[in-house]
Amino acid sequence: MRVVLQRVTRACVVIDNREVSRVGNGFLLLGGIHKDDTPEAADFLCVCLGAQAEQFIRNFEERILEQ
C-alpha cells in the first residue's frame, strides 16, 4: 500500500474519459492498494487515511494562519 497527500491548486479524477470529481485549492489524497493486500488491510488503510488526513490538514491550516 502507498499513500500520497499533496497540496494542489486544482485536481480532478477522470474515469473512462469522464470527469467524476474535481477540487480547487486544497489537498489531494491518493491511496494505492495492491491486489495482494487483504480487504481488511484496505479497509483499515481507508479509515486511517481519513482520520490522519483530516488531522494533517487541520495542523497545516493552523500553521498557515499563524504566519
Q: What is the rounded end-to-end Cα distance, in angstroms, of the chain? A: 35
CB–CB of 60/6 below 8 Å? no
Tell me the pTM.
Answer: 0.52
Question: Please, which residues have CB within 8 angstroms of residue 27's CB and are 6 or more apart in sequence?
Answer: 5, 6, 7, 8, 53, 57
Q: What is the pLDDT of residues 17-44, one digit of tens each?
A: 999 999 998 888 787 778 888 888 777 7
3-state secondary structure of 16: coil
For the cut 80, the answer to whether the pLDDT of residue 56 exceeds it is: no
3-state secondary structure of 64: helix
